[in-house]
Structure 1
Amino acid sequence: MAEHASSFKPSLSLVDATMVVAGSMIGSGIFIVSSDITHNVGSAGWIIAVWLITGFMTITAAVSYGELSGMYPKAGGQYVYLKEAFNPLAGFLYGWSFFAVIQTATIAAVAVAFSRYTAYLIPWFSEKHILWGLEKGLNAKGVMEYSFKISWAQVLAIALILFLTYTNTRGIKGGKIIQTTFTTAKLLSLFGLIILGFFLVKQSFWNENWQTGWNAMQWQKNAQDVWEPSSSIGGSLLIGAIAAAMVGSIFSSDSWNNVTFIAGEIKNPKRNIGLSLFLGTLIVTIIYVTANLMYLNVLPLTSIANPVEDRLAVEAANSIFSTNGANVIAVMIMISTFGCNNGLILAGARVYYTMAKDGLFFKKTGTLNKNAVPEFALWIQAAMAALLCLSGSYGDLLDMISFVAVLFYAITIIGIFILRKKRPDAERPYKAFGYPVLPIIYIILALTFSVFLIQMKPLYAGIGLGIVLTGVPLYYIAVRNKKA
């Protein structure tokens, strides 16, 4: 066999592509982030509203991308759409941000979540077990604080990334089997958990929780570090609270576009990418909304806001089953995050490959190994994600990812309007549903979210924006080197 393949092998069916969409979306978020949403909006009505708004935005964006995927059914997805609609700089800024924060930080955050739930079964992998650290001293509670530390949880997260990267260097077939198997398992498990949460719960808190209705409340920690409602909010403060709350729901619903990156490996991509985007995002949105309705049935709001060690799904399982049932849920979440990261790792490397083919990334990234996959691109992605596992907390990564990802989604959908004018006669197997009304609504919602997020959480959202802007000088360096 030749040392390098010359092109990708189209081997993924519509079902496989849909599994990539759903599997890449469902990771750890749905099991964790509703706690933070509760802190920000504090009532049953607004918790569900946050998930419905996010679902509407996700499906609208996905069906809009169906038009772009039909026009440009090639590896690279969103990078290609931005380059064609705007210019190569726009495409590069996305590709650079994708490598520096969007995809790699998502891989890191999901891997850290895998470690959290592994620690539920094997306590040694808890974030409290420090392998090495630079000590600052004891805090007021007598607990050692560190200026920098490496925990066994981070070691396990990095090991997971390296393992899945290795399996994906062996070819698309192995990655496809892992993705379909693990996504099917987590879809069935989630549907089972939701159904049992309504039929087997020991005590229902449904009526109690819905007494809060639409009375949005900001929650704050009391002296015992327990979140409690502190005050009602409304007006522009409510919009800001919703934006802050949507960090978690958008992260949980993100990565649906990963299927566009592997277009070169999908059978009949002009038809199947757009259809898989719609089916995958619809399935996940239904699961997310009903899962939160289940949380409101099995737990009081205070428990949703204050699950032990942020393990909301385990807290819910304890209300439905026994402790052993919670162990089963922990295994289910490990399966979910494992499969999610496989999809993220598989798809992400194709963007760097396409950038390299355009002379805008490391040259070696633009080659395929004998298994027809971009091996070098996979490994540099793994290295960046491993570094991000050591860089900050789960919440910090969410703030960076959500701001940058949503900003680029909005810009890409603006690209649909530009391409309608620039290339009116181009083949469009799909057209954006509800054009121009729904895409405009999405753009307004996405930009509103981005503006309020950088106001509410300026540090890490600002870091995310800074990473995007550093791509400008890097682009011109890449262009100069390409000409040389």
Structure 2
Amino acid sequence: PDKHLIPQRVILRPFKLGASSFNGYAITLSTQQLLAVVMILFLTIINTRGLQLGKLIQNTFTFTKTAALAGLILIGLFLGWNHNSAAYTSSWWRPWENGWQPTPALVGFEPASHGLLILALVMLLGRAMVGPLFAQSAWNNVTFTAGEVRDPGRNLPRALLLGCALVVGLYLLANLAYVVTLPLEGIQGASQNRVATALMQAGLGPSGTIIMAIAIMISTFGCNNGLIMAGARVYYAMARDGLFFKRVANVNSRNVPAIALITQGLWAAFLVLPRTVTVNPQTGTYAFGNVYTQLLEYIVSADLIFYILMVGAVIVMRRKAPEIERPYKTFGYPIVPLIYIVIAGLFIIDLAYLAPSTSGIGYLLVFTGIPVYFIWRRKSSAQ
């Protein structure tokens, strides 16, 4: 059993789902999950105390984690440049040595054709993009607070463009720091996929691990606060439109949707608990999936569905309501939105094929919302 379980047993025994590559799901409570639940509930309570307090926490931690990431990049670029790093030793990073011809060693099997090899590489790349997609997944959350923003027609487009540019820039520079500092094996085999920790350890020794642990906690705290602050506004808007419980549309004495925040906090805390579990038929021991990786996969899979709907809505609204004032008009319309929809759709198919046990949770959560939507809409219309 997982040595981090408290207590060391599964609360809900796993159940088998067909002939999949996993045995089922389990409800567990590890130290990681317990800390995650406590953090969610703590930040939820803080945000019920007023928007200004939530904004102060968000601004403080956003600045701190951005500075920490910039420091990591500088350490990698100035103390790195290891001649045994991936950038120097991997033929994949030196395409002039293999003419951009991928080899079977890159995917671990001998394909029937060159075309299948390319397809396999593309699919594996799609699976590997879960992390980057999650890093960018909150790009549109600022729009959830549009009703509380001054001059939203001007400030929201600027926030979206500058925020996305900053995240993409930092992400690319961080990955550059990784490949010039760490060998390919160090990136692939980083403990619990913590490549940044491996970089800091390579640059600063054991103290780098401690510094990175602090930076990760700061980043996680700030990220969670932003998601909690923005996400509750969605439930609040749904309730005002008659698509959720009426009480969720209430605001407290500090003019924040406290009930929406509490509802969201309890639901988010519950989602931390499920994990995939595999039972070894020979020994009878359990192997539990990584909580963080699983959360990423079913959150990203669900996000992609909504992004397709959201970007598709731009095209629909252009046709249905061409007279509406639009402070910002989509660059490259309609080609750019269509390209976005196609790529996001391919990611959805890829995750459904390569990670059915985790992405399936995301898809299931989204699709169960369809009948619920029609029930609420009928109820709202009747009233």
Please, which of 77, 92, 102 is the counterpart of residue 212 of structure 1?
92
Q: Which moved more, 1:397-406 or 1:251-260?
A: 397-406
Separation of aligned partners in 2, 1:183 and 1:333: 12
Q: Does 1:436 align with 2:334?
A: yes
Separation of aligned partners in 2, 1:395 and 1:325: 23
For 2:53, the equivalent position in structure 1 comes to 174
- Relative to 1, partners in 2 of residues 1:315 and 1:238: Cα closer, same or farther, differing over 3 Å? same
For 2:5, the equivalent position in structure 1 comes to 130
Separation of aligned partners in 2, 1:231 and 1:320: 35
Question: Displacement of 1:381 after TM fit?
Answer: 0.6
Question: Displacement of 1:211 after TM fit?
Answer: 2.3
Work out which structure has the larger RCO, using CA pairs closer than 8 Å and 6 or more positions apart in sequence.
Answer: 1
Please, which of 181, 185, 189 is the counterpart of residue 68 of structure 2?
189
Please, which of 195, 198, 205 is the counterpart of residue 77 of structure 2?
198
Aligned partner of residue 427 in structure 1, secondary structure:
coil
Question: Displacement of 1:288 after TM fit?
Answer: 0.4
For 1:339, the equivalent position in structure 2 comes to 222
Separation of aligned partners in 2, 1:209 and 1:335: 34
Separation of aligned partners in 2, 1:203 and 1:249: 24
Contact kept in structure 1, 2:90 and 2:184, CA below 8 Å: no
Separation of aligned partners in 1, 2:241 and 2:80: 56
Separation of aligned partners in 1, 2:353 and 2:239: 35
Runs of 5+ in structure 2 lacking a partner? Answer: 14-24, 94-99, 111-115, 276-290
Matches within 5 A, 1:17-32: none
For 1:457, the equivalent position in structure 2 comes to 355
Separation of aligned partners in 2, 1:258 and 1:218: 41
Matches within 5 A, 1:226-305: 230-231=108-109, 234-305=117-188
Question: Displacement of 1:336 after TM fit?
Answer: 0.7
- Relative to 1, partners in 2 of residues 1:462 and 1:202: Cα closer, same or farther, differing over 3 Å? closer
Separation of aligned partners in 1, 2:373 and 2:119: 38
Contact kept in structure 2, 1:133 and 1:147, CA below 8 Å: no
Contact kept in structure 2, 1:209 and 1:296, CA below 8 Å: no
Aligned partner of residue 129 in structure 2, secondary structure:
helix
Question: Displacement of 1:199 after TM fit?
Answer: 1.2
- Relative to 1, partners in 2 of residues 1:318 and 1:155: Cα closer, same or farther, differing over 3 Å? same
Please, which of 250, 254, 259 is the counterpart of residue 367 of structure 1?
250
Separation of aligned partners in 2, 1:239 and 1:318: 31
Separation of aligned partners in 2, 1:268 and 1:191: 31
Contact kept in structure 1, 2:28 and 2:274, CA below 8 Å: no
Separation of aligned partners in 2, 1:148 and 1:403: 21
Contact kept in structure 2, 1:198 and 1:297, CA below 8 Å: yes
Aligned partner of residue 432 in structure 1, secondary structure:
coil
Separation of aligned partners in 2, 1:316 and 1:375: 41
For 2:43, the equivalent position in structure 1 comes to 164
Please, which of 303, 309, 319 is the counterpart of residue 192 of structure 2?
309
- Relative to 1, partners in 2 of residues 1:407 and 1:209: Cα closer, same or farther, differing over 3 Å? farther
- Relative to 1, partners in 2 of residues 1:254 and 1:377: Cα closer, same or farther, differing over 3 Å? same
Please, which of 375, 384, 405 is the counterpart of residue 303 of structure 2?
405
- Relative to 1, partners in 2 of residues 1:235 and 1:170: Cα closer, same or farther, differing over 3 Å? same
Contact kept in structure 1, 2:104 and 2:117, CA below 8 Å: no
- Relative to 1, partners in 2 of residues 1:413 and 1:149: Cα closer, same or farther, differing over 3 Å? closer
Question: Displacement of 1:283 after TM fit?
Answer: 0.5
TM-score by length of 2: 0.83
Contact kept in structure 2, 1:404 and 1:465, CA below 8 Å: yes
- Please identify the structure whose Cα radius of gyration is greater: 2
Please, which of 313, 318, 341 is the counterpart of residue 201 of structure 2?
318
For 1:78, the equivalent position in structure 2 comes to none
TM-score by length of 1: 0.67
For 2:321, the equivalent position in structure 1 comes to 423
Q: Does 1:476 align with 2:364?
A: no
Separation of aligned partners in 1, 2:48 and 2:8: 33
The one-letter amino acid paired with 1:275 is R
The one-letter amino acid paired with 2:318 is R
Runs of 5+ in structure 1 lacking a partner? Answer: 1-126, 137-145, 220-227
Question: Displacement of 1:185 after TM fit?
Answer: 1.1
- Relative to 1, partners in 2 of residues 1:318 and 1:217: Cα closer, same or farther, differing over 3 Å? farther
Question: Displacement of 1:459 after TM fit?
Answer: 2.7
Contact kept in structure 1, 2:236 and 2:248, CA below 8 Å: yes
For 2:346, the equivalent position in structure 1 comes to 448
Separation of aligned partners in 2, 1:332 and 1:217: 38
The one-letter amino acid paired with 2:128 is A
The one-letter amino acid paired with 1:208 is Y
The C-alpha deviation readout for 1:148-202, integer Å capped at 9, x for no partner, is 5311221111111111111100111011111111111111111121112121138
Separation of aligned partners in 2, 1:148 and 1:371: 36
Contact kept in structure 2, 1:357 and 1:366, CA below 8 Å: yes
Separation of aligned partners in 1, 2:127 and 2:102: 13
For 1:150, the equivalent position in structure 2 comes to 29
Separation of aligned partners in 1, 2:104 and 2:44: 41
Contact kept in structure 2, 1:131 and 1:152, CA below 8 Å: yes
For 2:210, the equivalent position in structure 1 comes to 327
Contact kept in structure 2, 1:304 and 1:312, CA below 8 Å: yes
The C-alpha deviation readout for 1:333-362, integer Å capped at 9, x for no partner, is 111111010000000000000000011101
